[in-house]
A and B are shown apart, each in its own frame.
Chain A
Amino acid sequence: KNQVEQSPQSLIILEGKNCTLQCNYTVSPFSNLRWYKQDTGRGPVSLTIMTFSENTKSNGRYTATLDADTKQSSLHITASQLSDSASYICVVGSGGSYIPTFGRGTSLIVHP
């Protein structure tokens, strides 16, 4: 069964600090991996997408990495801002499947 596990479940950091969120998956075959940001009460918004051949992708202060051999991805947030407070969801596609596999998300709270 395809699964996506995210850690930590929740994280609290101070404004200006960096943090890293983890995503481990057992989806096979692998097609792509996306990170979404979901603000409270809103729909998820895509941050990055990586395919098998890509091992890093940046979007402003967000940098995602992918290790397809170990089936792990991370999302690094640099110089966090209050607006980074949200849930971050890892989503893995298996290529040809109609529905990707969603992780449960990591809830990030940035304190001033």
Chain B
Amino acid sequence: DGGITQSPKYLFRKEGQNVTLSCEQNLNHDAMYWYRQDPGQGLRLIYYSQIVNDFQKGDIAEGYSVSREKKESFPLTVTSAQKNPTAFYLCASSLTGTDTYEQYFGPGTRLTVT
């Protein structure tokens, strides 16, 4: 059963704590992406990776960090430096790192920080 998975679906953390969101894909895609979605707003790009061991900042990378040690995995860490971390986080993957190819999205993780 191919696809892209994110875990957990809901995550609660106290302010000041770092938290890591998981994203795994078995589609053999080279590129992976992290987006943030807030109510009434479009998807905003946090980080993307075109290939293993390489990643680039998106529009709102401050307060976030990523790693891409394996093709299948692209975890996102929300650090305590992120001033407003409560949001819905979406991971996506595509065959290659150009926008010619469709992005497939995971089910999302809703992070609540209090």
Residues of A within 8 A of B (CB): 31-32, 34, 36, 41-46, 49, 89, 91, 93-100, 102-105
Contacts and interface: CB of A to CB of B under 8 A. Distances in A.
Contacts of A96: 98-100
Contacts of A42: 107-108
Interface of B: 6, 31, 33, 40-43, 45, 48, 50, 56, 58, 88, 90, 92, 97-100, 102-108, 110
Contacts of A102: 42-43
A103 B42 contact: yes
Given A36-B105, A97-B99, 11 more contacts: A31-B99, A32-B99, A43-B6, A44-B105, A45-B105, A96-B99, A98-B48, A98-B98, A99-B45, A99-B58, A105-B42
A103 B42 CA distance: 6
B42 A93 contact: no
Chain A interface main SS type: loop
B33 to A, nearest CB: 8
B108 A41 contact: yes
A97 B33 CA distance: 14
**Most chain B CB atoms below 10 A, which of A89, A93, A98:** A98
Nearest to B96: A98
A99 B101 CA distance: 10
**Most chain A CB atoms below 10 A, which of B6, B97, B105:** B105
A103 B43 CA distance: 8
23 contacts: A31-B99, A32-B99, A34-B102, A41-B108, A43-B90, A43-B92, A44-B43, A44-B105, A45-B105, A89-B43, A94-B99, A95-B99, A96-B98, A96-B100, A97-B98, A98-B48, A98-B97, A98-B99, A99-B58, A100-B99, A102-B43, A103-B42, A104-B40
